[in-house]
Amino acid sequence: MTIDEQITAEVLRTIARDEQIKESVLRSSSLYPLLLAAAKRYVTGETRQEVQSRAKELEEKGYRLSVEYIGENTLDAKACEQVKNEFLAVIDDCSVLQRPVGVSFDLSHVGLLVSQEQAFAHVEEMAVAAARNQHDVMISMEESTKTEAIMAMYERLAQRHENVGITIQAHLHRSVEDVQRVLALPGKIRLVKGAFKEPRDIALARSAELNERYLQLAEMCVNAGHTCAFATHDQLIVDELQKRDYFSRPEVELELLYGVRPELAQSMQQNGIPVRLYLTYGKEWYLYLCHRIAEYPPNIHKAIADMFDPTRTAHVGYGEK
Residue-wise pLDDT for 30-59, tens only, equals 889 999 999 999 999 999 999 999 999 999
CA distance 17 to 212: 28
Q: Is the pLDDT of residue 236 over 90?
A: yes
Question: Which residues does 36 contact at the CB level (< 8 Å), separation at least 6?
Answer: 46, 285
Q: Is the pLDDT of residue 68 over 90?
A: yes
Q: Mean pLDDT over residues 108-127, rounded?
A: 97
Phi, psi of 79 (to 5 degrees): -65, -40
Please work out, in degrees rounded to the nearest 5, the angle formed at the alpha carbon of residue 214 by the alpha carbons of 212 and 217: 110
Q: Which of 218, 242, 244, 216 is nearest to 230 (CA)?
A: 218
Cβ atoms of 318 and 62 closer than 8 Å:
no
Helical H segments across 94-146, by residue range: 116-131
Q: Mean pLDDT over residues 243-250, rounded?
A: 97
> How would residue 310 be classed by pLDDT, with cut points 50, 70 and 90?
confident
CA distance 4 to 192: 24
Helical H segments across 17-146, by residue range: 19-27, 31-39, 48-60, 77-93, 116-131
> How would residue 316 be classed by pLDDT, with cut points 50, 70 and 90?
low
Q: What is the pLDDT of residue 319?
A: 60
Domains delineated in the chain: 43-284 (3.20.20.220)
Q: Mean pLDDT over residues 281-291, rounded?
A: 90
* Higher local confidence (pLDDT), 318 or 84: 84
pTM: 0.92
Question: CB neighbours (10 Å) of residue 121?
Answer: 15
Q: What DSSP assignment string belongs to 132-149? A: TTT-EEEEPP--GGGHHH
Q: Is the pLDDT of residue 320 over 70?
A: no
Pairing of strands 228-231, 64-69: unpaired
CA distance 233 to 260: 8
Q: Which of 170, 262, 265, 245 is nearest to 210 (CA)?
A: 170
Q: Is the pLDDT of residue 2 over 90?
A: no
Q: What is the maximal distance between C-alpha atoms in the chain? A: 53
Q: What is the pLDDT of residue 321?
A: 35
Q: Mean pLDDT over residues 190-214, rounded?
A: 94
* Higher local confidence (pLDDT), 175 or 16: 175
Helix/strand/coil for 67: strand
- The one-letter code for the residue type at 233 is H
Q: Is the pLDDT of residue 270 over 90?
A: yes
Question: Which residues does 269 contact at the CB level (< 8 Å), separation at least 6?
Answer: 62, 63, 275
Residue-wise pLDDT for 81-111, tens only, equals 999 999 999 999 999 999 999 999 999 999 9
Q: Is the pLDDT of residue 17 over 80?
A: no
State the chain's mean pLDDT as an integer: 93
> How would residue 254 be classed by pLDDT, with cut points 50, 70 and 90?
very high
